[in-house]
Copies of this chain bind each other. A is one copy, B any other.
């Protein structure tokens, strides 16, 4: 709602050529609202709107844009304007930008970046994707342990504006080793003549540059952090990661899990609409092919029971119900286990505990489903023996599905695979094989066909 109002206002200002009003109006709009505003403005007017912004705002807005909009914008900007953006943005955003732009754009960006920043960018680009090093920025407040609180405030006053956060300050030795952390609250409530080392916290929660980004984001959640220091192997502070980037990682990792659990192997971080039809097809076809061919195993099993099917074609009518129920039971369990593993509520040591829990849940659920369906079959088909076969099969299928759904994600974790692979699609295919085999075997034995 709010957003639509802004877009309407901006369009009105432009149409009525009230440019200086528009300039004032834009300064009061949060930079996070600009991407959707610019998306709704004609291409040729975007650069006009963008040029109305103050230097700081222009850089802030630039960082918020999607990569393809950033690219389009850069192609319209002068070298001086690019220089301004590169001067204002933080190093982690600069690295992100350079990683996503095509090489000709990268060349132009770097040509308009200060030498010292170019050096830092090159250092940061060396860290592998998805590590703490690739997420961090180098603009943090560093203090010395023998400074007074008063002196610390002076440092913050001088340098604060250029730093990504002042909420946490870092106390370094002369060799840049990390000695302690100060929450800004500790400084604010301290006496001005106290020394930094008297009030700093030396139990620092820190990460190494090569730590996995998912682990980093979990630490933010567990320890309620707003920033985390990143150190190299010699415990020298090389950068910090702030909470906004940690939240982006959480969202990204969650989306990846959702996709993997649905059998999608996405290679892009782009949104649904920005991803091309061909990319969508590519990221989906692999698992579909694999699962389709695996499902033919289940089909082949039915051919062993051809005579039973010819004799009693009604048996086929129970296949969809048995297969779907098995798949659903398995996915329920695997989803809970995958999520539990992702949030560290379940660990790979818990295999036996999970089996014991799922076995009891499965018996309870299986018996209810078996009884309900047995009664339905007995009434609908007036055939008590078929009802018995269906009911027993259901109990066994539910039991197998819940055990398979519980065990496979944990085993995947143990062998260093992503547990999210062992979700609905694979579980369903495996359980199908079990359901069909058990059903037709029981039917052949009990119904003597």
Contact = CB atoms under 8 A, between A and B. Distances in A.
B259 A335 contact: yes
Contact of A306 (B32, B314, B354, B436): B314
A167 B226 contact: yes
A272 B345 contact: yes
B264 A188 contact: no
Interface stretch (A67-75, A100-108, A115-123, A287-295): A287-295
Given A30-B223, A258-B339, A271-B340, A295 B310 contact: no
28 contacts: A30-B205, A156-B189, A161-B189, A166-B185, A167-B226, A220-B247, A243-B243, A250-B250, A254-B254, A259-B339, A262-B332, A272-B337, A272-B345, A272-B346, A273-B350, A278-B364, A281-B361, A284-B332, A285-B369, A296-B317, A298-B320, A298-B324, A299-B317, A302-B316, A310-B313, A319-B319, A320-B323, A424-B424
A443 to B, nearest CB: 13
Contacts of A338: 258
A261 interface: yes
Interface stretch (A43-51, A76-84, A425-433): A425-433
Interface of A: 28-30, 32, 153, 156-157, 160-161, 165-167, 184-185, 188-189, 203, 205, 220-224, 226, 243-244, 247-248, 250-251, 254-255, 258-259, 261-264, 271-273, 277-278, 280-281, 284-285, 287-289, 291-293, 295-296, 298-300, 302-303, 306, 309-310, 313-314, 316-321, 323-325, 327-329, 331-332, 334-340, 343, 345-346, 350, 353-354, 357, 360-361, 364-365, 368-369, 372-373, 376, 424-425, 428-429, 432, 436
A217 B104 CA distance: 38
A345 B203 CA distance: 40
Contacts of A224: 32, 244
A291 B328 contact: yes
Contacts of A28: 203
B376 A296 contact: yes
Nearest to A360: B277
B328 A287 contact: yes
Contacts of A156: 188-189
Most buried by B among A28, A365, A436: A365
Given A166-B185, A189-B157, A331-B263, A299 B321 contact: yes
Given A284-B332, A316-B309, A292 B273 contact: no
